[in-house]
Amino acid sequence: MFEPSRLHEVNLETELPTQDENENKDLASQMYVDLMNQLKEKYSKVESIEKDVKREHKQLVSSITMLYGIVKSMENVFNETLEMPHEIITLFECLEAQMSEMMNIYVFSKLF
């Protein structure tokens, strides 16, 4: 009939060829260099993303500031004009409130 398979223990220290200490140090050094290169690459990617975010934030602040100036100029014109429809004034007041809030969040909060 069938013969049961025999399992035996394997001692890895005696079965595997041993490496001398220099080879172990070389392997560890190479692994260390590889890991540092990976870390450097990831850090470079993070720096690149950070530069992009800062550039986009600067553009956003510039646009918001320009729009805020236009809104304030329009407010002066509307105050001098006597015959403005009520709906236009209401919409403009909403726009002004939103622009003021954005200026406070993105510009003035960074200055003070």
- pTM score over 0.75: no
Q: Give the range of the structural domain holding residue 54, as residue numbers without chain letter.
A: 24-111
Answer whether 65's CB lies under 8 Å from 107's CB: yes
Quick: pLDDT tens for 68-109.
Answer: 888 888 888 877 877 878 888 888 888 888 888 888 887 777
CA distance 112 to 108: 6
Residues 65-81: b if buried by 16+ CB within 10 A, e if exposed: eeebeebeeeeeeeeee
Reference 101, options 78, 73, 68, 59; nearest CA is 68
For residue 62, is it within any domain? yes
6 within domain boundaries: no
Residue 79 inside a domain? The answer is yes
Whether 13 is covered by a domain: the verdict is no
Structural domain count, the chain: 1
Residue 17 lies in a domain: no
